[in-house]
Amino acid sequence: MPYGEKSKEQLIEFSKKAFEFFESKRVKAVIMACNTTSAIVYDELKDKYNFKLYPLIQSVAKILAAENYESIGVFATPATISSGAYSKNISKYNHDIKVFEIACPEWVKIVENDEINKPETFDSVGKYMTEMLKNNPQKIVLGCTHYPFLSDVLLKFAEEDIFINPAEAYVKYIKDDLSKLNLLKSFQNKGNDEFYVSSEPEKFIASGRKFYDVNDCKLMV
C-alpha cells in the first residue's frame, strides 16, 4: 500500500497472483474494486482467465457517459490520473463530457492511518477542492475506494450532491449484468464470507471493521 504509487509492472504482478488464486477457487466473477488496478491492469489481463472480470472504471464510465453531464471532475491516485482512464473511457461513450482529473497522493495514507480529523487533512482536501472547483464541474467522482471515507471533510468545501461514489453505480451494474448472464445466485440461502489476506491480517481486521462486520467471517492467510 498504497497501490496508487506502484509501477505498472508491480501492479500487474500483484494482480496476476490474485487472479491465479481466484481461478484456483473456480470463481464465476472477479470484481476489480480498485480504481488503480482497473486503470493500469485490466487491458493487460482481461482475456487471460476463465471468469467474468468487472473493472471499476470501465464499468462506471458507461454509466457516467449516459448522464447529461457537461463536465465531471475526478479525484484519484497518481497512477489512475496518469493513465487518464476516466477521461479515456468516458469519451468512448460520450465525447461531449469534459473530464478534469486531479491526483491526490496523500489521501489514501490519511484514511489508512486514521488521520481524517487532523488539521493537515483539512489543508490537503481544501487544496485539491480549490483546484477542482476552478473547473466548475457538475459532479466530482471520488475515484479511489478510500476517498469516500473523507466525506465529512469534503463536505466542508462543497455540497453533498456534487460528489459521486462510483461504488454505488458499480454494484448495480454488476448485479444487472450477472442477472442478464443468468449467473446471479438466489439469496434465499445465505452463503459464507471468506477473506483471504496477502499479509498483515490483524491490520486488515482493524481496517475492515470501519465498513464491514468481519468478526464472524473466516480469515485465511
CATH number, position 130: 3.40.50.1860
pLDDT at 213: 75
Domain count, the chain: 2
pLDDT at 186: 72
Mean pLDDT of 145-152: 94
Q: Residue 100 falls within a domain, yes or no?
A: yes
> Do 70 and 162 lie in a common domain?
yes
Contact 65, 94 (CB under 8 A): yes
> Do 112 and 200 lie in a common domain?
no
Q: Residue 48 falls within a domain, yes or no?
A: no
> Do 63 and 164 lie in a common domain?
yes
Q: Residue 27 falls within a domain, yes or no?
A: no
72/87 Cα distance (integer angstroms): 9
* Least confident segment among 1-5, 39-43, 178-182: 1-5
> Do 157 and 82 lie in a common domain?
yes
> Do 145 and 205 lie in a common domain?
no
Query: 3-class secondary structure for the chain?
Result: CCHHHCCHHHHHHHHHHHHHHHHHCCCCEEEECCHHHHHHCHHHHCCCCCCEEEEHHHHHHHHHHHCCCCEEEEEECHHHHHHCHHHHHHHHHCCCCEEEEEECCCHHHHHHCCCCCCHHHHHHHHHHHHHHHCCCCCEEEEECCCHHHHHHHHCCCCCHHHEECHHHHHHHHHHHHHHHCCCCCCCCCCCCCEEECCCCHHHHHHHHCCCCCCCCCEEEC
pLDDT at 221: 57
Q: Residue 212 sits in which domain range?
A: 188-221
151/170 Cα distance (integer angstroms): 19
Partnered with residue 98 across adjacent β-strands are 71
Q: Residue 6 falls within a domain, yes or no?
A: no
Write down the mean pLDDT value for the chain.
90
Share of the chain above pLDDT 70, in %: 94
> Do 100 and 146 lie in a common domain?
yes
Q: Residue 74 falls within a domain, yes or no?
A: yes
Mean pLDDT of 104-108: 94
Amino acid code (one letter) for 162: I
Q: Residue 195 falls within a domain, yes or no?
A: yes
> Do 214 and 139 lie in a common domain?
no
> Do 210 and 126 lie in a common domain?
no
Q: Residue 24 falls within a domain, yes or no?
A: no
pLDDT at 220: 63
